[in-house]
Chains A and B, each alone.
Chain A
Amino acid sequence: MYTFQVFDRQNLRCLFLATLSFLALNQHAAAQKDSISLSPMTVYGFAPEKFMSGLKIQKIDSVTLEQFRFRNIADLLSLNTPVIFKNYGPGQLSTVAFRGTSPNHTAVLWNGLNINLPTLGQTDFSTIPVAGFDQLSVQYGASASVVGTDAVGGSILLGSLKPQAGLQVMVGRQQESFRNSQTQATIKYGTRLDNNWNFSGKTAAYDGSMNNDYRHPERNGEAISPATTFQKGLVQDLFFTKNEHEVSAHIWVTDNKLTTNPENLAGRQMTRIKSYRSMLRYQFEGWTVRTSWIRDIIDYAVGDYSKLDHAVTDRYGVHAERTFNWKIGKSGSSIQMQTGGEFTHYKTQVENYERPVITENRGDVFVLTRWQATPQFLISANLRQAFVTGYNPPFTPSLGAEYRLIQNRPYTIKLRGSLGRSYRVPTLNERYWKDLGNPDIKPENGFNKELGAESVYAFNTNHTFSANLSVYHNRIDNWAYWNPTNNFRVENLQLVIARGIEAQFGWKGNWEYWKFGSTVNYALTNTSQEKIYDAYASDIIGKQLPHIPLHSGNANAFMQYKNLRLTNQLQIISKRFTTADHSQSTPAYLLENFILETNFDRPHFGASFQARINNIYNTFYQTINGNPMPGRNFAVSLLLSAKTTR
C-alpha cells in the first residue's frame, strides 16, 4: 500500500534534515544546562490538546456521545457547541462554520490525521456518524501550529479508544420517522497474549438509510427537497501493547451515497463519497511513528448515471515525533517538548483538473513545547513550518498561557490567553481545476488572538457550577474567493475578520436517586469581509458573512431518577443573511427536542433504550433558503450489549 510513486527527493531530504537538526538542537540545549535533569516520560496516543494551552477545548463527555450514538456529528455539535452548520436537509450536504469562518477553516482530525477531503478542503459532516469514533473534542480557534493546515476557525478531534480486557458485544438499531433508520454492531475485545504482550481491539459496523419519506412533502408551501442517503461504515482498531511499546492499527471505511430527487429519473443527482482511511502507529517511550493511507473517492452522476464523474485522491503519509520531558530542579517546574515531522504524498485523479494525474508532496516540521513554570502557570510555545510542492506556506508560531488564579478551594478560576498564526493550504480544486483553478494562489494567512476564563464552583456535595468565557479576534488575510467577475477564477481577494464572545454555563446537581444538570451555550459571532477588491465591494464590506448568525445558542437540561433520564434540548439561531449584501435572509428559529432514556445493567447483559421527539414545536426552519427542514419527528433506539466479566 505504501508505495510512493513520485518522490520529491529535494523536499523530503530538506524535511528530514530540518527535523533532525531540531532534535539535535534540543538535545544540545538540554545537555548544556546541568541544572536540568533529564527524565523522559512516555505520552501515549495523539494528544494535541496537551500543547494547546491557552486555547479553549471542549471534550464531549461519554454520556453525550452515547446519547447521539445513532446520529451524525453535525447533530451533536449543533446541540452542544456554538459550531454552526449549513444543511440542505436530512442526510444531505452539511458544511460547517466555526467561529465565523468558512467550511475550509475547520480541521477534522481522526487519531491526529487530517481527514478533510483534499479536493474540497472540507468535510461533509453528514458523512460522519457518531458511530465512527470513540472520543470527540472540539478545539476553538486557530491551532495550526499544533494541527497544521485548515485549523483556522477550530478543529474537530476524533479519536479511537483502546478497549479494556474482556469481550463485549453490542447491537443496536434506531428507527426514525420518514423511514429512516440506522443499525450498528460493535465488538470490543482485549486479552493477554503472553507475559509481555496485551492485545485489544474493536470492530464496529454501521448501516444507515434515510429514505426521507415525508407524508407532507411541503412545509409552509415550500417543497422539502427529496433526497435519500445510504451510509455504511466499518471501523477496525487493533492495539498491541507491551510495557512501553504500543503498536496499533486503525481502519475506518465509509461509504455515503446521497441521491437528490430520486424519483425524477432524468434529473436525479447522485453523490457518492467513499473514504478508506488506515493508519499504523508505533509508540515507544517518547517516540511515535505513524504511517497512513487515505483514499477518497467522489462519484457524481446525473439522470441515468451512464456518465460517472469519478474523482480519486490518495494520500500516503509518514509521521514521526519524539516527546521529551524535563523536570527543572526541585521547583516542580517541568518542560515537555514534542518535535517531529510529517510527510504526505498526494495523488489525485479528477476529470476536470488540468492534468489527468496530479501528484504533490507536503511536509511539516514542528516543535511543540509545554512549560509548567509554576503549579499555577503554564506556557505553550509551538512552531510549525509546512512545505508543499511548488508552494510556500507561512511559518506558523503560536504562544499560549494559562494561569490558575484560584485553586485548591471549593472554586477554581483559570485564566487563559493565546496568540497564534494559522494557514490553509489551498484545496486541490483551488489549485488544479482546469482554467478556473489558480496554481499561483497564495495560502490564506490567519492571526488569532483570544482570552478566556474558566471557573468551577463546587458549592456543596450536591451542586457544582461551571462557567467558561472566551473572547477572540481572528484575522484571515488572502481569503480565497472564486471570483465571478473573473469567470470564477480563484483569487486571494478577501480579508475577513471574525470576532466574538462565547459563554458556557453549567450546573450539576447530584442526590442519591436524583440527578439534574444543565448546560447553556451562547455565542456572539461577528464576521465580515474588510477588503475592497472591486467597485461593488462597498455593498459587502463590514457586513456579517452570509449564513452565519450573529447570535446562536443552545441549552440542554436533564433530570434523572435512577436509570430514567429525561433530556430537553434547545437550539436558537438568529436571523441569517443568505447574500453577502444582506438583501436576502432566512429568519431566526428555535428548535426543541425531548429525549427519554433508560437502561439496565446486569453483570453480563445490558440494554439501553431511547425515545426522542425532534422539533417538538413543528417549527418551520431552513438553513438555506428554499430547503425547508422537516417538522416534528420521532425516533426510538435500542442498544443491547453482552460482556464477559473479569
Chain B
Amino acid sequence: MKKQLSRIFTVTLISAIAWSCNQSDPAPEGTYVQGVFVINEGNFSQNNGNISFLTREKNIADSDIFSIVNGSTLKGGMQGYAVAGDHGIILVDNSNPGSDKVEIVDANKFTTTGSIGAPDIENPREVVAIGSTKAYVTNWGTLNSNSTYPAGYIAVVDLATKKVVKKITTDKGPENMVLHNNKLFVGNYDYSEGKNLTVINTTSDEVTNAIPFTDEPNPIGVDANGKLWVQAGLDLIRVNPDTYEKEATIKISADMSKSAMNFAMSPDLRTIYFVLGDFTRGETYKFQITDTAVNLATPFAKRMFSGLAVDPRQGLIYAGVTPSYTQSGYALRYRSDGTLVDSVKVGIAPTGFYFR
C-alpha cells in the first residue's frame, strides 16, 4: 500500500513538473481556468441545480463541480454564472423563500470564498460582470401574493468585499442584461408586465433612462454595427444604444401562439440564434443582422432547446436539451452551418453556458 502510494506520488510529481514546465507564462492555476461552464437549472422543488464543466476538446463533462471541490451542493436552482477577475459568481435560487443567495467562488479552483443571501438577494435571475471585482445581479424580489411582479432591482455586488453595495430599482421582473459603453441595458421577464428597458450608467450606478416597449423587452446584444437588438414579444427591434431610437422592427412570426426565446449572438456579432415555439414544439432559427425578415422556411435546427449560447472562442453553438426535470440533460454542439458536432451529458435542465 505504501509502495503504491509513493509510486502514485512520484508519477504525479513528475507529471506535475512536466506540466508546469510546459507553461511558458505564469498563467492562473486551477482546473477551471479554461473551458465551458454549463448552468443546470435543476428541478425547482428539488433544489438540485448545479454547474457542469467541460474542456472544449472533450465530450465528457464533470457534473456538479461545486460539490466536487467543496464537498457540498449549492442547494438550489442555478440561474447564472459569471466571472470577474479571479472571482466566480453563482446565482442560486432556492424554493424556500429567504434562502436564495449568490455564491462567490475562486474562478480558477471553484473553491467557495463566501456568499450573500437574503435580504440582499431574492429571486436572482441573471448576472453580468464588469471589471475584476464588480457584478450586476438582476433580482425579481419577492413576488406578490397573486403571483404578479413587483418592481425588481439590481444588486451591485462588490466581489472583493463580498457585499451588495447598492440596490438599483428597475421595472418589474428584471432579467437579461447587456453591457455596452458604460451602459447596462436591463430587460424584463416575459410575463412580468415590465415593459421598459432600463438603462443604467455603470459609472454612477444610476438609472438614466427607461425605454418603453409594447411587450416585455429582452436585450440580446450589440451587433457589429454597434446597434442594440431587443426582442419584445414576437418583434425583433434594432435600437440605437446612444439615442435609444428604434431604427427597425422585424416581425419574427405572425403566429401568436408561439414565443421567441433563448436568444444568442454569434462572436462576429452578425448572427442571432433563437428558439421559436409554442412550448410543445418548436424550432431554432438564425437571423442575420442585415436580414429584413426571419427566414422561417429553413430552421437552423428542427427542434427547440432550453438554452442557447455561442462559444466566442470556437464559434460552436451550444444548445441545452432538457428531456425531463428528473434526468440529466445534454449540451449539443453545432457548427454555424447547422451540422451537429456532438452531444455531452450534463446536469438537469441546462439553460445557460459560460465560456472561459
Interface residues of A (CB under 8 A from B): 221-223, 225, 260-261, 264, 266-268, 301-307, 483-487, 489, 534-537, 539-540, 546, 578-581, 583-584, 624-626
Contacts and interface: CB of A to CB of B under 8 A. Distances in A.
Given A267-B97, A485-B324, A583-B63, A578 B75 contact: no
Nearest to A547: B326
Interface in B322-340: 322-328, 330
Contact of A539 (B97, B144, B328): B328
Contacts of B46: 578, 624-626
Contacts of B19: none
Given A266-B142, A307-B145, A539 B323 contact: yes
B96 to A, nearest CB: 6
- Most chain B Cβ neighbours within 10 Å, of A260, A306, A534, A579: A579
B328 to A, nearest CB: 5
Contacts of B143: 302-303
Nearest to B347: A583
Contacts of B96: 223, 225, 260-261, 267
Given A261-B96, A581-B327, A485 B322 contact: yes
A486 B304 CA distance: 11
A534 B348 contact: no
A579 B323 contact: no
Given A223-B96, A487-B279, 19 more contacts: A221-B72, A261-B96, A302-B147, A303-B142, A307-B147, A483-B324, A484-B323, A486-B280, A489-B280, A535-B323, A536-B324, A536-B327, A540-B327, A546-B326, A581-B327, A583-B63, A583-B328, A625-B47, A626-B47
B304 to A, nearest CB: 9
A483 to B, nearest CB: 8
25 contacts: A225-B96, A261-B96, A261-B97, A267-B97, A301-B145, A302-B145, A303-B144, A306-B146, A307-B145, A307-B146, A485-B323, A487-B279, A489-B280, A534-B323, A536-B324, A536-B327, A539-B328, A540-B327, A579-B328, A580-B327, A583-B63, A583-B328, A583-B348, A625-B48, A626-B75
B98 interface: yes
B288 interface: no
A425 to B, nearest CB: 25
B interface residue count range (under 10 / 10 to 19 / 20 to 34 / 35 or more): 20 to 34
Contacts of A626: 46-48, 75
Interface in B281-338: 321-328, 330
A302 B48 CA distance: 23
Contacts of B323: 484-485, 534-537, 539
B99 interface: yes
Interface string B25-54: 000000000000000000100111000000
B60 to A, nearest CB: 14
B324 A304 contact: no
A276 B46 CA distance: 32
A510 B144 CA distance: 64
Interface centre among A225, A302, A485 (most CB of B within 10 A): A485
Nearest to B148: A307
Q: Is the interface of A mostly helix, strand, loop or mixed?
A: loop
Contacts of A304: 145
Contacts of A302: 143, 145, 147
A538 to B, nearest CB: 10
Contacts of A581: 326-328
Contact of A536 (B99, B142, B321, B347): B321
Given A267-B98, A584-B48, A625-B47, A484 B325 contact: yes
Nearest to A220: B72
A367 to B, nearest CB: 41
A487 B99 CA distance: 27
Contacts of B75: 222, 626
A64 B12 CA distance: 61
Nearest to B47: A626
Interface in B142-166: 142-147
Interface string B101-144: 00000000000000000000000000000000000000000111
A221 B74 CA distance: 12
Query: Sorted from nearest, which 3 A-B pairs have the closest CB atoms?
Result: A267-B97, A536-B323, A303-B145
Contacts of B146: 306-307
A305 B145 CA distance: 6
A487 to B, nearest CB: 4
A626 B99 CA distance: 12
Contact of A306 (B63, B72, B145): B145
A636 B147 CA distance: 43
A56 B347 CA distance: 41
B244 to A, nearest CB: 34
A324 B186 CA distance: 76
Nearest to A545: B326
B97 A266 contact: yes
Q: Name the residue in B63, B75, B142, B327 with the highest tally of chain A Cβ atoms < 10 Å from its Cβ.
A: B327
Contact of B98 (A264, A305, A487, A540): A264
Nearest to A536: B323
A292 B328 CA distance: 46
A485 B75 CA distance: 25
Contacts of A268: 97
Interface in B230-279: 279
A303 B324 CA distance: 30
A396 B125 CA distance: 51
Most chain B C-beta atoms within 10 Å of own C-beta, residue among A303, A306, A578, A624: A303
A503 B146 CA distance: 50
Given A261-B98, A626-B75, A484 B324 contact: yes
A303 B144 CA distance: 7
Nearest to B43: A579
Contacts of B145: 301-307
B151 to A, nearest CB: 14
Contact of B348 (A223, A307, A579): A579
A618 B347 CA distance: 32
B345 to A, nearest CB: 8
A243 to B, nearest CB: 56
B321 A579 contact: no
Contacts of A261: 96-98
Contacts of B72: 221
A592 to B, nearest CB: 27
A264 B95 CA distance: 13
A408 B315 CA distance: 83
Nearest to B322: A484
Contacts of A301: 145
Contact of B280 (A266, A305, A487): A487
Nearest to B326: A580
Nearest to B142: A266
B323 to A, nearest CB: 3
Contacts of A583: 63, 327-328, 347-348
Contacts of A487: 279-280
A307 B144 CA distance: 9
Contacts of B144: 303
A221 B75 CA distance: 11
A493 to B, nearest CB: 10
Nearest to B330: A536
A581 to B, nearest CB: 4
A484 B321 CA distance: 11
Contacts of A303: 142-145
A484 B327 CA distance: 11
Interface in B66-88: 72, 75
Nearest to B325: A484
A546 B325 CA distance: 12
User: Quick one: which of A260, A303, A580, A583 has the most chain B CB within 10 A?
Assistant: A583
Contacts of B347: 583
A187 B152 CA distance: 57
A539 B147 CA distance: 35
Contacts of B348: 579, 583
